[in-house]
Amino acid sequence: MPDINIGQQGLLRSTPKITRINGDDVMALVYRNMGNNHAYPFVWAEQVTMSGTEELLLASGTKFHGMHAADYCKVVATPAGAPTGSIYVDSDTSAKTVKIKSTASESNLPITVMVMVGVSPDVESIACRGNTGAAQSLP
């Protein structure tokens, strides 16, 4: 077995494939620790309050990893209780804004907002080899 660890010697250094993932002790935030004092948030939640049919600007021109939040983030808005109208997220990719809009008539309606950074995944292509017995389909 002379070739063990050969990728970590000389000019053939392997590139790390694992990123350290941290959760904050106080904030509802999960972030990627990239080293060298760089941290990138990729999942976080917050609670906002809306009244009536107002609009709440969540992001305007915000970028993550060089991509605009309106193009790159998935936002879920969940109202507390059952409002009379609907609560929805409007991502305007041309204006680069993300807004939460409401057609409900309630005042001071608490809404939990969760933001996930990244494009939509292809869940079927993710290999799972846990205790479920699932295995990756190889050609």
Are the beta carbons of 59 and 66 closer than 8 angstroms? no
> What pTM was estimated for this model as a whole?
0.67
Which pLDDT value is given to residue 4? 47
Domain segments of the chain as ranges: 44-118
DSSP code of residue 2: T
Number of other residues whose CB lies within 10 A of the CB of residue 91: 19
Q: What is the dihedral of CA 20, 24, 28, 34, to 10 degrees?
A: -30
Alpha-carbon gap, residue 17 to 13, rounded angstroms: 12
pLDDT in tens, the chain (139 residues): 444 444 444 445 545 556 678 888 888 888 887 777 777 788 888 899 988 888 889 889 888 778 888 888 899 999 988 888 888 999 999 999 999 998 888 888 899 999 988 877 776 666 655 555 555 555 5
| Six token digits for residue 40 | 């990138």
